[in-house]
Chain A
Amino acid sequence: MKTTHNFSRRDFMKLAGAAAAGLAFSSVPNLAWAAGRDKELNILCWEGYNSDNVLNPFRKMHKGLSLKAESGTDDPSMINKLRAGEIKVWDLINLNQCWARQQMWGEGLIKPISMERFMPYIEKMMPMFYNKEMGINPFALSPDGKELIGMMQRFGPMNFVVNTKKISVDMAEDQGLPMFLDPKMKGKYGLLAWDNWNVMHMCITAGFSPYKEHTPEEVEKFKQTAQTLFANAAMISGDPAQLNQALINGEIDAIYSGGIYTCSVARFEGFNEVHHISPRRGPLEGGKGSLQWFELTSVVNNPDVSPLAEDFLEYVQRPDICHTVAMAEASHNPVTQMSQPEVFNKFKKDELNSFHWDTLEDQMNRSVDYQVVPDNDLLTSIYNEAKRTREG
């Protein structure tokens, strides 16, 4: 047998070196640097606002605009970007309601927006976001109530999701999150690894509110609950689409921690058996057992903030853009502006059905606001330990 390829050791080393260099370069992140902020706008947001359907009309309105939107899958990570120095990069940040008032405002990461400019829009929002008795929903205001710190748009309850061909809505609403501790549920549910939501839901499952300092007994109960839930889960994923797929094809019967946000796309595709559940009762304030979120989009305290930041906030109040935001590709959600007929009339029946419009008011009434958990550090540490030492 003859050698047909004559590779020398030198050739070998060259190729090995080239391969190593290629590997090293493949891990270099893309960085975008700002120049001329009047033609630039950078948005850090949850999935949906980064859709071209939402962004392109704004691009057309501002020729030559460099409009970038990056999506995250958890609030703390996005805040960390600002803490890490990206406050000079981003102009808008879109997070769940509690973070602006409870963390970002106090740390000087966001700045107030014009009350005068946005009040006419807020006054037309659904009653839970503005009514004459309450005024503006407190989460959109600074702690002293004087400054407007963001605009509210998408919202929804977030508890768990079932396949109604396997688990009835009535039973799930009645039993609530403790249903997942039933030994019969072993291997029949998937766990959505959105950790900060799971910490709150595991508190509720264990029988107490997450929004207080917990006693050692409660912490121990939380640990046992987390261990059981991890051990009995058939799968864990950070991707709602993967879990919905498993729910639809019968691999699992339910998803622990899920909301209209995570299941609406599957419903819109015709899988009506994918159903979000808001429990009827629980250990939360007023005997409630359900959590709800709404997003607040705030202007970042960027020393050279884009002058278009507030313009974008006003742009997403347009009825056609409200509809586009609500029906963004990755997740379909109700928006606070649906109280206005010119917005509501843009939605078709199947679109409304995708986010449970028929029962939405009931679900929201059963829910309390998502807040920062006081002993989140301790509970997150226990949660991660339970995930790491998972048995089953």
Chain B
Amino acid sequence: MSDKQPKKKFSFGPGLVGALSASPFALLMLFGFVAPLLCVVWFGLMPPKTFELLQAPTLENYRTIFEQTYFKSIMWSLGLAAVTVVILLAVCYPLAFAMAKIFRSGTAFITYAIATSLFVSENIRLFGWVIGFMKKGVVGGLLETWFGLQIDSLLYNVPVIVLGMCYVYLPFMLFPLVLGVNMVPDQVREAAFDLGASRWQVFRKIDLPLSMPGVMIGSLLVFVLSVGAISEAKILGGQKVVTIASDIESEFTYAQNWPLGSALSTLFIVLTTIVVFLALARFDLEKLLGKKPSE
């Protein structure tokens, strides 16, 4: 009798299947996200006004950034993004509540109506506002025709930039909020009312904390998108303010200074990441998203 043992058949273990399944995504992230990002970081260390990646690194570009007034553009971008988030939270929360808890067939209509706006290019939508707000445009023309009122252009100021940003990024706040508000169980709200809680108390103690995942995701989406916004300040604001995205674009185009543009991009990515993490640090995301129980 032979003591030969039967050969083990090769089989895919769960670990290997997992690794294989994850590999397309890992490759995509590696070549589509990590590699370009590293290129930008490295390019920021190249001598100014050069186009070669293989040179001795220098901090010259960062010195230029700190010597000049780029901080103004950074502050404008961060400030406009923060204001947009706050306004959209105030505007969208009541609508999200209505869509999640009150409307029936109306919810689908509002969802389609708002989602449809995303199918039209942002620039075209913004130029629509230009036609509305310019001197003798739709608003000015109607006021003059109906009431004899003559108004100047409503464009080229900071409030109209904020209006444009709120308009463009509204869906990115509204839809996460709708999902967040949907997660608030009605039974909990009803119990609170039965125990004598006021509307304000229910909102503060139940609605807001339980819908916080939607609030957080919506705010993060809007903040990250609007901090890199460029068109609103250019088209509606007449470049009343210069955002950091506009500065970066200038360095890569007219100024032909890719290393400085890359250094600005790197610095801005780092700053945005810090701001986002500082905001997240105030909330326990895992707890908010229900992955760990409340203490």
Contacts and interface: CB of A to CB of B under 8 A. Distances in A.
Interface in B183-209: 183, 185-186, 189-190
A9 B290 contact: yes
Given A236-B238, A388-B72, A249 B289 contact: no
B281 to A, nearest CB: 20
Given A77-B253, A80-B256, A1 B247 contact: no
A242 interface: yes
Contact of A12 (B72, B155, B183, B189): B183
Q: How large is the interface on B (under 10, 10 to 19, 20 to 34, 35 or more residues)?
A: 35 or more
B193 to A, nearest CB: 9
Interface in A283-326: none
Nearest to B242: A388
B138 interface: no
A168 interface: no
A238 B242 contact: no
Interface in B122-169: 127, 130, 134-137, 152-153, 155-156
Contact of A74 (B49, B217, B253): B253
A9 B183 contact: yes
Nearest to B257: A377
A247 B81 CA distance: 31
Interface string A1-32: 11111011101110110011001000000000
Interface in B86-106: 100-101, 104
Given A4-B104, A76-B253, A242-B235, A16 B186 contact: no
A190 B253 CA distance: 22
Given A16-B176, A390-B242, A196 B290 contact: no
Contacts of A249: 134-137
Given A7-B179, A9-B290, A19-B176, A1 B217 contact: no
A12 B180 contact: yes
A245 B155 CA distance: 13
Interface residues of A, number: 48
B255 A381 contact: yes
A1 B179 contact: no
A20 B183 CA distance: 20
Contact of A195 (B68, B238, B250, B289): B250
Contact of B234 (A4, A80, A237): A237
A193 B101 contact: no
A4 B178 CA distance: 13
A80 B253 contact: yes
A1 B254 CA distance: 59
Nearest to A198: B254
B72 A389 contact: yes
A2 B172 CA distance: 27
A8 B172 CA distance: 20
A245 B253 contact: no
B182 A7 contact: yes
A270 interface: no
B259 interface: no
A32 to B, nearest CB: 18
A246 B134 contact: yes
A235 B290 contact: no
B221 interface: yes
B254 A387 contact: no
A250 interface: yes
B186 A2 contact: yes
A195 B100 contact: no
Contact of A77 (B135, B217, B254): B254
B44 interface: no
Contacts of A242: 127, 130, 235
19 contacts: A9-B213, A9-B289, A12-B213, A13-B289, A15-B179, A20-B221, A76-B255, A83-B51, A234-B156, A235-B239, A236-B239, A237-B238, A246-B135, A249-B135, A249-B136, A250-B136, A251-B153, A389-B69, A390-B241
Given A12-B180, A12-B289, A377-B49, 8 more contacts: A7-B179, A76-B256, A77-B253, A80-B252, A238-B234, A242-B127, A249-B134, A381-B255
